[in-house]
Structure 1
Amino acid sequence: MSSWDGLDEFVAVAECGQFTAAAQRLGLSSSQVSRQIARLEETLQTRLFYRSTRRVALTEAGQTFLQHCQRLQDAREEALRAVGDLGSEPKGLLRMTCAVAYGERFIVPLVTQFMSRHPLLKVDIELSNRTLDLVQDGIDLAIRLGRLQDSRLVATRLAPRRMYVCAAPGYLQRYGRPHSLSELSQHNCLIGSSDHWAFQQDGRELSQRVHGNWRCNSGQAVLDAALQGLGLCQLPDYYVQEHLGSGALVSVLEKHQAPNTAVWALYPQQRHLSPKVRQLVDHLKAGLAHLG
């Protein structure tokens, strides 16, 4: 007897509470189901059911065995779907969200490229700097930046994300280059969505409050102000890399640079991702690696 024989019959009887109903569910005769259960009990050397003329009830061993068998059935179905989905065409509606600036610059172009290859797919993208509730709002996929907070979500790392403190050469010529975190208080810091900047010192991560005469909750606006020489800024790599390369901005406090975070794809916890989500996540990961 195969170690798998009788498992489906056992689960069906346990869930239906009757051999006849279980046989109908499986499309078998009652005698076939009964024989499989008897063989299974013989193999296990334990009784799985208490039997009466009208119903059957699980023994303590049967209750324990049922939990494991149901997980095995779920895993088997997941494996079959996963293989079957390898060549499946993404289709239907996919709802996703991302922060505005990063979404406009990187994510939306990659999603548009993906849709051109999969015309049966419909995508609804909400660009928002608010953290939306994926479960409550019915969102299939979120692109998040930085560190993760919501343990209810499954995450796939798409790309690294590095923070830079930098300024225009003209500003540094006028006010000097800071060499320690304590010197930040002597500089005009361009504040974005937070007045606390992330650093590391002596191997420890820390958050330091900064001050300045300019504030705007737009990364692009902070970048423009820094390019005009108004002060120091702290921004992610995708805002400043081009300008650091051209010399329009200069990186400072490199030894205190914040530990790398990441760009993440998040989706509600589930055992099996649909082809549309799984294939789009793969496409985004490859596309962002190419851009990097």
Structure 2
Amino acid sequence: MDWDKLRIFHAVAEAGSLTHAGDKLNLSQSAVSRQIRGLEESLNATLFHRHARGLILTEQGELLHDATSSMNKRLDTASARIRDSEEEVFGDLRVTTTIGFGTLWLAPRLVKLYEKYPDIRVDLMLEERVLDLPMREADVAIRMKEPSQADLIRKRLMTVKMQLFATQKYLYANGMPNSLDDLIEHRLICQSVHAAQVGASSTLVQSLLTNEVGSILTVNNYFGVLQAALQDLGIGVLPDYVSVEDPRLVQVLPEVESVDIPVFLAYPEELRQSKRIAAFRDFVQEEITAYRKVLRAKKNA
């Protein structure tokens, strides 16, 4: 099978248009069309349904696109390993983590990574869905549980607890609750128990909601919960590290917290020698060490 035709097919499948694929490949629309027609003839199959709004893959086209996507990911891996210099860190690094951890803990610290490695390009993918690292949906992941996928190098970074926080201004206006019974006088801000989230967080929220609560605001991610709490709307169920990240927050009912939530870093075995992965791993570890020092100082103050 002609590799060049497969490359062009993949570009068309991704773009959904001969013209857009041609622009990306620096080829004319007619040249792209000829290559696709030639590929279809060699396979004796129709790969695209053509309509006014663009191209849609046929069933046979979907099968071929799955194969070319897998090939592309493998080629990306090989390219990354080849390009990784022995002494320099540069190139693309796709990092996936949860919306909460990525927004509230990781993103604010990335400036230090760029200061040290200005030629690195981080693609930060924040979502609750667990991406497939061996299939190169991402290069490295930080997840709130140990990854179960095979062929991964994994490292436990730290643990997180979900706790209750509010601003001093909110507490001045509404009073500091001394027990769970006092929640009837307050608004609780939390993720919906139906939203994708860490099980320990959902368990804590469900437990809190067995008590009478004056009012409730649910948000589908922790960043939204944080922003609502910072606007003095109520008491937020948030990761414990927000107390270090934002001095405006005060912990409420310290005895109320989730069980430990482990935080793991993982990446494919085939990227073991990647300088970019090593640089990112070491950066995260250094930041966690610094975070722990601040946390200890805060507890001892």
Aligned-residue offset at 1:182: 6.1
Compared CA separation, residues 253 and 116, structure 1 to 2 (3 A): closer
Taking the TM superposition and a 5 Å limit, the aligned residue runs for 1:189-268 are 189-194=188-193, 198=200, 208=207, 210=209, 212-241=215-244, 243=246, 245=247, 248-268=248-268
CA distance in 2, matches of 1:150, 1:280: 21
Gaps of 5+ in 2: 1-83, 295-301
Aligned-residue offset at 1:228: 3.9
Q: For the Cα contact (< 8 Å) 2:89–2:276, is it kept in 1?
A: yes
CA distance in 1, matches of 2:168, 2:98: 30
Q: Does the residue aligned with 2:89 lie in a helix, a strand or coil?
A: coil
CA distance in 2, matches of 1:166, 1:232: 6
Counting aligned pairs with the same residue, the percent is: 29
CA distance in 2, matches of 1:133, 1:102: 19
Aligned residue in 1 for 2:148: 150
CA distance in 1, matches of 2:175, 2:274: 54
Q: For the Cα contact (< 8 Å) 1:159–1:289, is it kept in 2?
A: no
Deviation string, structure 1 residues 206-250 (Cα, Å, up to 9, x no partner)? 96252643222243332233244432211013333355x4xx443
Q: For the Cα contact (< 8 Å) 1:111–1:280, is it kept in 2?
A: no
CA distance in 2, matches of 1:267, 1:169: 41
Q: For the Cα contact (< 8 Å) 1:167–1:232, is it kept in 2?
A: yes
Superposition CA RMSD, Å: 4.0
Compared CA separation, residues 222 and 119, structure 1 to 2 (3 A): closer
Aligned-residue offset at 1:97: 1.7
Aligned-residue offset at 1:165: 0.8
Q: For the Cα contact (< 8 Å) 2:153–2:269, is it kept in 1?
A: yes
Compared CA separation, residues 242 and 97, structure 1 to 2 (3 A): closer
Q: For the Cα contact (< 8 Å) 1:157–1:264, is it kept in 2?
A: yes
Equivalent AA in structure 1 for residue 162 of structure 2: M
User: Normalising to structure 1: TM-score of the pair?
Assistant: 0.52
Compared CA separation, residues 119 and 198, structure 1 to 2 (3 A): closer
Compared CA separation, residues 118 and 225, structure 1 to 2 (3 A): closer
Aligned residue in 1 for 2:15: none
Gaps of 5+ in 1: 1-84, 200-204
Bigger Rg, structure 1 or 2: 1
Q: For the Cα contact (< 8 Å) 2:95–2:122, is it kept in 1?
A: yes
Taking the TM superposition and a 5 Å limit, the aligned residue runs for 1:24-35 are none
Runs of 4+ in 1 over 6 A off after TM superposition: none
Residue 127 of structure 2 corresponds to residue 124 of structure 1:
no
Q: For the Cα contact (< 8 Å) 2:147–2:266, is it kept in 1?
A: no
Deviation string, structure 1 residues 61-94 (Cα, Å, up to 9, x no partner)? xxxxxxxxxxxxxxxxxxxxxxxx9964334543
Equivalent AA in structure 1 for residue 127 of structure 2: S
Aligned-residue offset at 1:111: 4.6
Aligned residue in 2 for 1:166: 165
